[in-house]
Structure formats: structure tokens, C-alpha cells
A = this chain, B = another copy of it.
Amino acid sequence: MKKTAPAPVNSRNSTALRTPAEPATPTALLLRGNLFAEKCPSRQILTHVTSRWGVLILVALLDGTHRFSELRRRIGGVSERMLSQTLQWLEADGFVTRTAYPVVPPRVEYSLTPLGREVSEQVRQLTDWIEENLGRIGAGQPADGAE
């Protein structure tokens, strides 16, 4: 009997991923619980999760598995480059699962891990708050129209 479904490949060859900034400073004090410490691992994670597209990706994946192009279409304004990059960060952090089906045309699906679902819930609470309180925000904001 032959395989009807191609064996999906999870993750890629674990290419070492680094966060963009964080230029490394002398004092390497790892204050684990201190978010404000520059070298704290939590800062790294926070950078990924709260990155411009990370937030939207996590929230988007809350309603289930999505393909690359679906995410791209859904998240307005994201470039392929950044979508790919951010997904790799989140995958390396253990928040997102990447499943590639070796078919043609290629099919890659992204979904949240149990851990990822937890963060996403937290992120979602934040975004929900913002959307619900939009009317109260920006009192006195110059409404950027002119440069």
C-alpha cells in the first residue's frame, strides 16, 4: 500500500536564527527575572513576540492552521521576507510549528504549539483591549495628515 498523504516535514534544518538588534554589551548580567536587563533572555523572546508582525501572526494563528500565503494575505502590509523571518523566530522559540508537505505545488502550514497558544492568548488580550478602547485613545493626537 502506498502512502496517500506525503510525509510532512516539521521544521527545517534548524538554521541558527538571531534577533536583529541587541548589539551585545559588556556587562553580561543575566537577571533572569528582570525584563529590564539588556541581556535577559526574556527580552529576546519579548522582541520576537511583540515585533511588528509577530503580534499579528500569533493572533492570526489563534483560529487554527494557516498556510504561508493565507497569512500573507490576511496580514496587511507584511512582506514575504518579514513574514518568513518572523515565522522562523517564532518557530525557534517554540511558539509555532512549521509543517512542510513535500508536494507540488509546495504546501507549508503553520500552527501554534500549546506554548504558542498561551502567548497568543496574552497577546490577544492586549490587541482586544486596544480595539475596544480605540475611541478613548489619542485624545489630543495631532491626527497626522501633514508632514
Contact = CB atoms under 8 A, between A and B. Distances in A.
Contact of A94 (B37, B126, B141): B141
Nearest to A77: B38
B35 A142 contact: no
Contact of A125 (B94, B122, B146): B122
Interface in A71-106: 74-77, 92-95
Nearest to A94: B139
Interface of A: 11, 14-19, 21-22, 25, 32-33, 35-39, 41-42, 45-47, 49-52, 55-56, 59-60, 74-77, 92-95, 115, 118-119, 122-123, 125-127, 129-131, 133-134, 136-142, 144, 146-147
Contacts of A75: 36
Copy number in the complex reads 2
A25 B130 CA distance: 22
A82 to B, nearest CB: 11
Nearest to A74: B36
Contacts of A59: 35
A35 B92 contact: no
Contact of A36 (B60, B122, B139): B60
B129 A119 contact: yes
A94 to B, nearest CB: 5
B129 A126 contact: no
B130 A49 contact: yes
A66 to B, nearest CB: 12
